[in-house]
Each structure stands twice: as C-alpha cells, then as structure tokens.
Structure 1
Amino acid sequence: MTLKPFASGARLRRAAGALALGLGGLAWTGAAHADLFADNDARRAILQLRQEVAQLQADQQSQVKQLRNSLLDLSNQITQLQSEIAQLRGQQDTNTQQLNTALAKMQASQSALSQRLAPLEPVQVQIGGKNYNVQPAEKAAFEQALSTFRGGQFANATTQFQAFIAQYPTSPYQGDAKYWLGNSLFGQQRYRDAAAAFQDLIQSQPDAQRVPEAMLGLANCQLELREVKTARVTLQRLIKNYPQSEAAAAAHDRLAKLK
C-alpha cells in the first residue's frame, strides 16, 4: 500500500506530538515519585525522633523516680538515725543521772562511815613538847577531867582523873593525869593522898615533864602536914635534879622562908 505524502507528514507530526506528550508525562511522574520518596524519609525521621524523645522522657522519668525513691530512703534513714540518736541521748542522760545518783550515795556513805570511824581513829596531840597519837575518847576524857579541875570541882576532878589513870594505863597523858590528880586532892586538903599521887608520878615516870612540879607539890603537902625536914629535903633534891626548871626557882623561895 502506497501512502500519500501529505497524509504521511500529518501522521508523523501527530506521532511526534504524542511522543512528546508521553515523554512529558513520564517526566512529571518521575518528579512526583521523587517528592513522594522524600516525604516518606522525613516522616520516618520525625517518627524516629519522636520515639527517641519519648524514650528520653521515659528514661528521665525513671531516673527522677529512682532519685525520688533514693531521696525518700535517705530521708527515712536520716529520720531513723535521728530517732536512734535521740534514744542514745536519752539513755546517756539516764545513765549520767544514775551515775550521779550512785556517786552521791557513795559520797554520803563514805561521809557517814568517816563520821562513824572518826571516834575510833587516833588523833595527834602534843604533850611535853612531843607528839603522840591518842584515841579521841582518851583525849576527851583527859580534857574533861582537866576542865572539871579548872572549874574548881576538885572532888569530881579527882574521880575523873582516877578513872582516866585506871582506864588508860599506857596513855601519854598519864604523867599529867597523876599531877593534876595530886592537885585535885590538894585542893580538897587531902594532903596525904595528894602527896601519894605526886610520889607515884615521881617514882613511876622520873623523866616526865611534870616531875619537877610534882616534887614542888609534894613539898607543899609535906609542909601542910608539918613535915618540915622532909619538905626541905624534897626541895633541895628538886633544885639539884632540875636546876633550870621554874619549880626549882620556886623551891629556892620556899627554902629561904624555911630558914
């Protein structure tokens, strides 16, 4: 079959136009597909980002929750420790009070014991320039007898000195007690008894401090008994044995009056 030239050209032009339209459609469809692919990637990225944000928020909430729980536990522990410290302080206060009470009772007991033992503990006294340890009752008995004598109650003093000498035979007060016993008897004008008391001191304790005075007292008793010669001998012996004593000076005066 033979085509006409005109008809063939028209057909060619129509075919070229169709081809151009087809190619244009194809170009538009490619661009549309490219845009569609880009939107999907963006959506996936956004979704992934949202998931990451959600996960981060969840992690933060979990961490905050754990932190709150830890703080709560710590707060509870602090409260418990404060309670235990308060209990310990209370126990310490109680123990301190009990200890103070026990110490106070112990001190009171020691004080009471010291008071009970005080009358039994020796005390130091000075007799004739020397220090001695005597029992409190011993000291009190001698001082009571001496006080009675100085009060002029010679009879009572005699009784007290005699009781003291019998009760405390080894007392360092023995010399003084015998001397004051002689003076108590002399004050009652019991000259022979007084002379015997003085003689007892002179013979039993020749080194006693009161011996010179006892010899003078003995001489006075002898003079009251009108034993002048015996009194003179006693005075002379006093001066000879104790020349530096005050009793010796008084003995010189007595002897001078006897001549």
Structure 2
Amino acid sequence: MNARASMLAVALAAMASLFGSLSSAQAGVFDDDEARKAIVDLRTQVKQNDEASKARVDQLAGQMNDLLLPLRRSILDLNGQIEALRADVAKLRGQNEQLARDLTDAQRKLTDQVLALESRLRPLEPQKVSLDGKDFQVDPEERRQYEAATGLVRRGDFAEADAALQAFLRRYSASGYADSVRFSLGIAQYGNRNCKDAITSFKAFIASAKDHPRAPDAALTLANCQADLKDVKAAKRSLEELIKTYPGTEQAKAAKERLTSLK
C-alpha cells in the first residue's frame, strides 16, 4: 500500500469515529429531554394529586364540620340545661333546708303549745286520792272544796264548816269524800252545839260507812250528843251498840266507862 492510500484510510477512520461520536451525543440529548418531560409530568401529577387530596380533605372537613356543628350545639344546649338543673337543684336544696328549719320551728312551737295546754288542763283533770283506806278519783274543784270545808272544821269555824259541808254534799252527793264529809259535818254540828243535827249526821254516816275507820268515833260522839240532850236511854243504847260492833277498840273501852257514868 502506498502512502496516499494509507493516509486516506486514516482519514476515513477518523471521520467514521467522529460521526459515531455525534450520533452518541445526539442520542444522549434525546434521553435527557424525555427524562425532564417525565419529571415535569410526575411533578404535575403529584401537584394534581396534592390538590385533589387537599380538596378532598377540605371537603371531608366541611362535611365533618356540618356533622359536628349540630353536635356542638346539642352539647352546648345540654351544658346549658345541666347548669340550669344545677341552679334548680341548688334552689330546691335551699328551699328544702328552709322547709326543714320551718318544720323544726313549727314542731317546737307545737310542742310548747301542747305543753302549755297540758299545764292549763292538768289542774282540771281528775286526780287520784287515797283517804281512809279508799282510792278514788276527784275533780280538782271537788278536792278544793272538800279541803276548804274540812279546813274550817280544823280551825274551829263550825258554823261556816256546817254550811260548807252541806253545800258539798248537795253538789257532790256521790263523791268519794262523802263519808268523810258526813263525819266532819257531824263534828261541826256537835262543835256548834247543834246536837240534834249532829245526831242525824252521825247516824247517816254510820249507816253508809259502818266499816269506816272513823265509825267508832262517830258512834261514841253520837252517844255523847244524845247524853247532852238528856236522852240517856238512847245514849246507853248507842254505847252498847258501839261496844258490840267495835269490840276491842279504844272507843269501846271509853263507851264502857261512859255507861257506868250514865244514870
């Protein structure tokens, strides 16, 4: 091969290499554009997806607000009702406390009134009395009159005692005091030298209360009244009846002595 042919071959080889490099560079340029376009498309899609997601989130948030708004209102209303109920309960509690205080005051006043009424009525209630071995009920006024009348006898006011004791028997003829009053009446009449009435009173007493503790005294005083009236026969009869009915008593002994002195 001559020198010219060799140089031509070298030149052709260089040109082939240059064209090859240009083709490779051109192909690289085309690949970068497609990548950029893909990236731009991907960014656009991501942006669109973000916007769509945001729009969906906003939509869901709006829907949630629409759902929660009535609930919030209901909660607020319920809270208002609860506060109102609390206020009502507090008011009712205060009213109940006041009512309890009023009830306590009313009960205390009622108790005081009942006690006061009982205190006023107590003097008017029947009272139990024990006298000469007997228990019985008497009215307060009945007891007062009895004590006043017999008190006159003890003081020696026989005329006033006579009137008071007879008035008592007229008013309280069935009284448990009746026997004692008849005996006291006889004593008052005898003390007032009214032997005739005294005899009547003692006989009535002995007839109604033969076993009375004071019956022996009444029988002895009856005999003395009869003796004072010079009715010796009646006096002796009364003394003998006394000795027979109440033997062993001091009055029976006195009756025996009295019998020996009567003529």
Same fold flag (TM > 0.5): yes
Where 2:182 maps in the other structure, the secondary structure is helix
Find the aligned partners of 1:188 and 1:103 in 2 and give their Cα distance.
Answer: 59
Find the aligned partners of 2:251 and 2:33 in 1 and give their Cα distance.
Answer: 163
Where 2:129 maps in the other structure, the secondary structure is strand
Establish whether residue 175 from structure 1 lines up as the match of residue 179 from structure 2. yes
Find the aligned partners of 2:204 and 2:48 in 1 and give their Cα distance.
Answer: 140
Give 5+ residue unaligned stretches, structure 2.
none
How far 1:181 moved relative to its partner? 0.6
How far 1:241 moved relative to its partner? 0.5
How far 1:52 moved relative to its partner? 7.3
Conserved 8 A contact 1:175-1:210: no
- 5 Å-filtered alignment, 1:112-131, equals 114=118, 118=122, 121-131=125-135
Q: Which amino acid aligns with 2:219?
A: M
1:133-154 CA-to-partner distances (Å, cap 9, x unmatched) read 3333322221210112112211
Deviates more, 1:180-189 or 1:93-102: 93-102
Other-structure match for 2:39: 35
Where 1:197 maps in the other structure, the secondary structure is helix
- 5 Å-filtered alignment, 1:65-214, equals 72-96=76-100, 99-100=103-104, 103=107, 107=111, 110=114, 114=118, 118=122, 121-214=125-218
How far 1:158 moved relative to its partner? 0.8
Find the aligned partners of 2:250 and 2:75 in 1 and give their Cα distance.
Answer: 101
Q: TM-score, normalised by structure 2?
A: 0.73
Where 2:174 maps in the other structure, the secondary structure is coil
Find the aligned partners of 1:221 and 1:86 in 2 and give their Cα distance.
Answer: 90
Identity of aligned residues (%): 34
The verdict on how the C-alpha distance between 1:28 and 1:115 changes in structure 2, with shifts beyond 3 A counting, is: closer
The verdict on how the C-alpha distance between 1:204 and 1:25 changes in structure 2, with shifts beyond 3 A counting, is: closer
How far 1:222 moved relative to its partner? 2.6
Where 1:133 maps in the other structure, the secondary structure is strand
Q: Which amino acid aligns with 1:179?
A: F
How far 1:251 moved relative to its partner? 2.9
Find the aligned partners of 2:106 and 2:251 in 1 and give their Cα distance.
Answer: 61
1:213-243 CA-to-partner distances (Å, cap 9, x unmatched) read 2101112223333444433332221121012
Find the aligned partners of 1:96 and 1:252 in 2 and give their Cα distance.
Answer: 81
Find the aligned partners of 1:139 and 1:257 in 2 and give their Cα distance.
Answer: 41
Q: TM-score, normalised by structure 1?
A: 0.74
Conserved 8 A contact 1:148-1:157: yes
Find the aligned partners of 1:121 and 1:174 in 2 and give their Cα distance.
Answer: 20
The verdict on how the C-alpha distance between 1:244 and 1:76 changes in structure 2, with shifts beyond 3 A counting, is: farther
How far 1:41 moved relative to its partner? 4.8
Establish whether residue 237 from structure 1 lines up as the match of residue 241 from structure 2. yes
Give 5+ residue unaligned stretches, structure 1.
none
